[in-house]
């Protein structure tokens, strides 16, 4: 497989993961201010806060390859970019797996009110995620041929001459993938404002939430800016009439 293809696949995988992590993060913030959250045991609320922190770390890690590609590599495909993206994806899956386990724990705790069952459900969920995301790749790595490993090592310091059109397509794809997650997060934050629990928050927390709404709206505006700019700059050329 060519280096440019490997880089594209790695970036596409992180982009898809960003969407899921952002949606889960939005639901997590929404759940904290729901009426049933206050009825959870104190330990479950603390564990849920840890899960939200892990999701924030996951989103931050998964977004990192895009800015690295733009700022450090200047949009060029390179072996270093591929290694960075792969390492970030491997690292981000760990807090993601733990956050999924915590989500199962809180959900089962709220449903059955049984600490043993909820702990078992959370542990099984996190264990399955870690097994599929880390165990299976490590098991496959043992059976990878020496020729494939040599090809991978030879591409570590390789730099591909990425065409300008490919750079633009990758840049627009990154913006298009991050945009739906930002819009979903903005919608969840707007819905929180209309809950009764939100009115009971301290004034400082309400002010911070308002600032976050403005920042997310600003991010959405900036992410949507390339689309109308690209559309307005596109010209349709019509053939000239033949004259004799």
What is the Cα 84 distance to its own chain's centre? 16
pLDDT score recorded for residue 238: 45
Note the pLDDT of residue 47. 92
Question: Phi and psi for 238 in degrees, rounded to 5?
Answer: -105, 140
pLDDT of residue 236: 44
The whole-angstrom separation of Cα 181 and Cα 66 is 15
User: What whole-number distance in Å separates Cα of residue 58 and Cα of residue 52?
Assistant: 10
Nearest alpha-carbon partner for 175 in 225, 217, 223: 223
Q: What is the pLDDT tens value at each position of the chain, 244 positions in all?
A: 577 778 887 888 887 788 788 888 888 888 887 777 878 888 888 999 999 999 999 999 988 988 888 888 887 888 888 889 889 988 999 999 999 999 889 888 887 777 788 899 899 999 999 998 888 877 777 766 555 555 555 555 555 566 667 676 776 777 767 777 777 778 877 777 777 777 788 888 888 888 888 888 888 888 777 766 655 555 444 444 444 4
Q: What local confidence, expressed as pLDDT, does residue 144 receive?
A: 61
Contact 87, 63 (CB under 8 A): no
pLDDT at residue 244 in the model: 42
3-class SS at 235?
coil
- Show the tokens assigned to 138: 């490590």
Residue ranges of alpha helices (H) inside the chain are 3-32, 42-63, 65-67, 79-112, 115-130, 136-141, 146-154, 164-193, 196-199, 203-224, 226-233
Which position has the token pair 């991978």?
Answer: 152
Angle at 14 between CA 11 and CA 15, to 5 degrees: 85
Task: Give the pLDDT confidence score for residue 231 in this predicted structure.
Answer: 53
Nearest to 169 by CA among 22, 4, 1: 4
pLDDT of residue 30: 80
User: How confident is the model at residue 242, as a pLDDT?
Assistant: 46
| Through-space distance between the first and last CA atoms of the chain, rounded to whole angstroms | 53
């Amino acid at each position: 497989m060519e280096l440019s293809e490997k880089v594209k696949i790695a970036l596409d995988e992180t982009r898809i993961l960003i969407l899921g992590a952002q949606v889960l993060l939005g639901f997590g913030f929404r759940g904290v201010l729901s009426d049933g959250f206050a009825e959870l045991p104190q330990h479950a609320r603390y564990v849920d806060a840890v899960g939200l922190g892990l999701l924030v770390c996951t989103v931050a890690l998964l977004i990192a390859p895009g800015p690295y590609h733009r700022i450090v590599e200047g949009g060029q495909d390179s072996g270093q970019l591929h290694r960075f993206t792969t390492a970030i994806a491997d690292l981000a899956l760990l807090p993601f797996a733990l956050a999924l386990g915590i989500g199962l724990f809180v959900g089962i705790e709220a449903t059955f009110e049984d600490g043993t069952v909820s702990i078992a459900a959370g542990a099984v969920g996190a264990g399955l995620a870690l097994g599929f995301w880390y165990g299976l790749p490590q098991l496959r790595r043992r059976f990878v041929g020496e020729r494939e490993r040599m090809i991978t090592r030879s591409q570590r310091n390789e730099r591909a001459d990425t065409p300008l059109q490919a750079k633009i397509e990758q840049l627009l794809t990154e913006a298009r993938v991050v945009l739906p997650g930002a819009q979903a997060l903005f919608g969840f934050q707007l819905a929180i404002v209309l809950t009764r629990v939100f009115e009971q928050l301290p004034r400082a927390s309400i002010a911070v939430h308002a600032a976050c709404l403005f920042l997310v709206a600003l991010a959405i505006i900036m992410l949507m800016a390339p689309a109308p700019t690209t559309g307005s700059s596109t010209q349709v050329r019509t053939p000239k009439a033949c004259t004799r």
